[in-house]
Structure 1
């Protein structure tokens, strides 16, 4: 197996994320740069709405993954950047909608930041995936 998800008994157990992931063997690593809530025309989706922006950012991540021959099952790491003051639960709700139930959750880091690349952006999401073979 090329992707090993580790959840040591001495660490918190969550169905939403893994504590560590090891990738090994033949395969490809895919790095998806930070995605914001912009559509293919560069227009902001969900002005002032963290749930809508998270949904669009995740759909953008998904599109990039699919272009590289991967899907959510191959994601080993998500980095989520939220503008300070946003409700992280609204973002998690959108993530559950887009990613669906995940028997193999990635590692996740959520950071609150002062601002993102444009003042109207509320969230930015980056991903790392590993495709076996």
Structure 2
């Protein structure tokens, strides 16, 4: 697989994403449903934004790993939240996770009216290998 990051500017680097990612000759593509702060028993978290981000990232990583892909292969990461104001103070958690896995991805952040039950953040990814 060949991956090329397109960044006409530099400002997006501080926000830990790329303007575009081109993939040539992938061996496979994994489309991951939105991962949230739901326990292995299927119980939605009622915790704060910080703990929900941590669990959503853990769940995202587990799905990717169990599918025999690597987080470094993420080329698209969509973030849905019920409150960008609540998310921003903890955005570094996502940035650190992205850096840890050496991910270079296109990202869209959307504030939505609601998510399932008590959830505050949802992470949807496209992964290639």
TM-score normalized by structure 1?
Answer: 0.84
| Structure 1 unpaired stretches of 5+ | none
SS of aligned partner of 1:121 = coil
Alpha-carbon offset, residue 96 of structure 1: 3.4
Alignment correspondent of 1:123: 121
Kindly state the Cα deviation for residue 72 of structure 1 after the two structures are TM-superposed: 1.9
2:39 is matched with 39
Gap change, CA 1:125 and 1:116, over 3 Å in 2: same
Describe how 1:1-133 pairs up with structure 2 within 5 A.
Answer: 2-9=2-9, 12-15=11-14, 16-45=16-45, 47-84=46-83, 86-101=85-100, 103-118=102-117, 120-131=118-129
- Decide whether the 8 Å contact of 1:3 with 1:22 is kept in 2: yes
TM-superposed CA distance for 1:99, in Å, is 3.8
**Contact map agreement 1:81 1:113 (CA 8 A) in 2:** yes
- The aligned length equals 128
Unpaired runs of 5+ in structure 2?
none
Q: Which has the higher helix share?
A: 2
- State the secondary structure of the residue aligned to 1:95: helix
The CA RMSD over aligned residues, in Å, is: 2.0
- Superposition deviation, residue 85 in structure 1: 5.6
Once the two structures are TM-superposed, the CA of residue 95 in structure 1 deviates from its matched residue by: 1.4
8 Å contact kept, 1:51–1:93: no
Cα distance in 2, alignment partners of residues 23 and 90 from structure 1:
32
Q: Which moved more, 1:92-101 or 1:24-33?
A: 92-101
TM-score by length of 2: 0.86
Q: Contact 2:73–2:127 at 8 Å: present in 1 too?
A: yes
